[in-house]
Chains A and B, each alone.
Chain A
Amino acid sequence: MQALTLLESTAFELTVQRLCHELIEDHGHLGSTALIGLQPRGVYFARRLKKELLKITGEEQITYGELDITFHRDDFRQRAVTAAPATTALNFSLDDRRVVLIDDVLFTGRSIRAGLDAMLSFGRPRSVELMVFIDRRFSRQLPIQADFVGRSVDSIDGQHVTVEWKESDGVDRVSLKQMHR
């Protein structure tokens, strides 16, 4: 299995910074914005964004939650293993908020569909946008596109894109791996 590094250290940080600025440019004041990280891997990205956004805007706090989509998946009985749930921490209503769903990799779009479904249990947002760190183009199975993209990657079946975060994996890195058939 050979890994090709697509993004690391400074470039990685710059990408996070750019996405923060894009969000501020688009939303202006973040008062009605709610960031929601999708479990399990999207939350690392979301936490980093939250930290950077607080630093850049100088705000005291940003509305932030984490959402687990396990019970909303459509492949619940088709996978070899049952997914065990992670935690959902969303203690505010989404009514009339500008929600930004956050995930690390956008691939088939099915996790995002499940995320949209799960999110609706918490209220009716004014709008929902999607921010992903990596967009794997040409591999979508549902009509779902991201509004904010860190880096687009053209990959083929049998390749695997991994995003690692300093907080959980000790290093900031995006790599492309060729899986054995």
Chain B
Amino acid sequence: MSDQLSTKHLLGIGELTPEDIELIFRTADGFKEVLSRPIKKVPSLRDITVANLFFENSTRTRISFELAEKRLSADIINFSSASSSTKKGETLIDTVNNILAMKVDMVVMRHPDPGAAVFLSRHVDARIINAGDGTHAHPTQALLDAYSIRERLGKVKGVKVAIVGDILHSRVALSNIQCLRKLGAEVMLCGPTTLMPRYAASLGVRISHDLDEALRWCDVANMLRIQLERQGGDGVANFPTLREYAMLFGLDRRRYDAIGKDIIIMHPGPINRGVEITSDMADSSASIILDQVENGVAVRMAVLYLLAAGLDRSVRQ
């Protein structure tokens, strides 16, 4: 069993080995225990400075990362593009290099363009954690989703997971598929054909366009958010109305009861209540949505801790 990640950055799930993911989970177990203590802080990253660069709106992920960094005693710089010089036309590299000139060790970045994190990792000398890049990847979300499944079911291998909804625009879906498949889970994608990417068949997953069929098949249903802000970007609506979408692909009590077995309901948030999932299902005992949020902090602490381990104090001085 390795005690070191095989990678310097967390850009996507693709570059992690199954052993890396296991190591992250084992470390997260330790941090979950820390988070249950009266004093929820450890000094591991005491001499590390982390910049949180959010070029796209985020509430949950930003707060979760910030809390994880604070629990690890890191120093933090927060940056969001709404109040910054990017509005004045500064390029990404310039912005980041200026921040790094202030001796930042790690960068957590969310960006609307796919590949932004990879691009950055090639040009700046700091550990990069991708907190979501456009429709491409959201590795920490995938890790915390798989971690939550592992926590609830005791394993991920062999578990059947249905990912339902707006697959086309979802970085969560793509990262989840990679992560779950690496850990030996079976994955089914379910949604209208217009929200199913053309390359879906090449991902090694089952595909269904019938929610009831997907629910009967799966042990875990991950109900993705309909990304209203990304719909119709190419001038074409992907479904006629939200109401029709909710009728065909929304999870409600009637549908759940009709499956005839207990399954686990997940949602990466934020929820469009009444669209992809009804309120009573989101708040039901089958839902682990708030566990996902709680686990997010522990998983992000693990990622920060393990990546920081590779930083050599003497070299940075």
Give residues in A with beta carbon < 8 Å to B: 68, 70-73, 76-78, 81-88, 93, 117-118, 120-123
Q: How far is the CA of A81 from the CA of B27 in the complex (A)?
A: 14
Take A71-B34, A77-B308 as given contacts and tell me if A84 and B26 are in contact as well, using a CB distance cutoff of 8 Å.
yes
Nearest-neighbour CB distance to chain A for B172, whole angstroms, equals 28
Q: How far is the CA of A122 from the CA of B31 in the complex (A)?
A: 15
Contact A120 B39 (CB under 8 A): yes
Q: List A contacts of B23 (CB < 8 A).
A: 84
Give residues in B with beta carbon < 8 Å to A: 1, 3-4, 23, 26-27, 29-31, 33-34, 37-44, 72, 305-306, 308-313
- Secondary structure at the B interface, as helix, strand, loop or mixed, is loop
Q: List B contacts of A118 (CB < 8 A).
A: 42
Contact B27 A85 (CB under 8 A): yes
Q: How far is the CA of A73 from the CA of B309 in the complex (A)?
A: 12
Take A70-B30, A71-B305, A121-B41 as given contacts and tell me if A81 and B311 are in contact as well, using a CB distance cutoff of 8 Å.
no
Question: Which of A71, A78, A117, A121: most chain B CB closer than 10 A?
Answer: A71
Q: List B contacts of A68 (CB < 8 A).
A: 30, 33
The 4 closest A-B pairs by CB, nearest first: A85-B30, A71-B42, A82-B309, A121-B39
Q: List A contacts of B313 (CB < 8 A).
A: 77-78
Q: List B contacts of A86 (CB < 8 A).
A: 30
A84 to chain B: closest residue by CB: B3
Query: Could you list 13 A-B pairs, sorted by A, with CB under 8 Å?
Result: A70-B30, A71-B72, A72-B44, A76-B308, A77-B310, A77-B311, A78-B313, A84-B1, A85-B29, A88-B30, A118-B42, A121-B39, A122-B38
A91 to chain B: closest residue by CB: B36
Q: List A contacts of B41 (CB < 8 A).
A: 121
Contact A123 B44 (CB under 8 A): no
Q: How far is the CA of A118 from the CA of B33 in the complex (A)?
A: 12
A87 to chain B: closest residue by CB: B33
Q: List B contacts of A88 (CB < 8 A).
A: 30, 33-34
Q: List A contacts of B40 (CB < 8 A).
A: 121
Contact A71 B43 (CB under 8 A): yes
Contact B43 A81 (CB under 8 A): no
